[in-house]
Amino acid sequence: YAAGDSMVGFFDMNNAMLRAYYNGQVQDVENLLGRDADSIKFKVGDNIMAYVNATDQFKIFFQDHILNLESSSPSSFQVGRNIVSYVDGYTQSFKVFYKGMSYTIENTPPTSYITADDMVAYVSNTGDFKIFYQGQLLKVSSFAPVFYDAMDKVILFFDNRFFTAFYNGKITTLETYVPTNVQRDFTTVAYIDRRGYLQALYNGQQTRISDERITSFELTG
């Protein structure tokens, strides 16, 4: 089984049925008779489930509908909110399903990618760092960052000069170094800066939270 914000997906071994708990109901998604439980491929995002059926077709369960994406199993795939990203197992193209629309965003597989709420961050095979956000493809830089990560509605990355956040389509430089204690939840990023003050990016606005130096904190919501 796997759980997201608004959905739980699970494989019922008694009748070989892939099921989803969504909108207060348990729904049959597809019979996977003949598949061993350990070989079932499915992933659950906040409100979407992607899976490979008994005949290796790649499908999704989204807004109470089952949609066919590909006739063959993907090489890899990830899910977020409203979004599925994957490498086509046949063509090796990098593709995104987002809110009922399908996009081919690269003709070759990326070197890495991370999927979150309504967006995908990835490094292309040519080293470009890009973000697919709400149906638009943005080129952030022509080189790969030292690190990047995506969770909920925020992407964080460091390009060897700036520690940066991407939120709501906007890029905000936070620091010229990577803080040691960074926490994120939904739309908020919080961290202790080098001087010991608590800083936050909240709904896209950067602000200092504490008037005194602190040693620890916890971010919830």
Residue range 165-195, pLDDT digits in tens: 999 999 999 999 999 899 999 999 999 999 9
**pLDDT by residue (tens digit) across 19-38?**
999 999 999 999 999 888 88
Question: Which residues pair with residue 151 across a beta bridge?
Answer: 154
pLDDT at 62 over 90: yes
Residues 57-65, mean pLDDT to the nearest whole number: 97
pLDDT, mean over the chain: 96
Residue 38 has a pLDDT of 85
* Cα separation values, 117 from 1, 25, 129, 163, 198, Å: 21, 23, 18, 21, 26
* Beta carbons within 10 angstroms of residue 140's beta carbon: 19
Q: Which band of pLDDT confidence, cut at 50, 70 and 90, is reported for residue 159?
A: very high
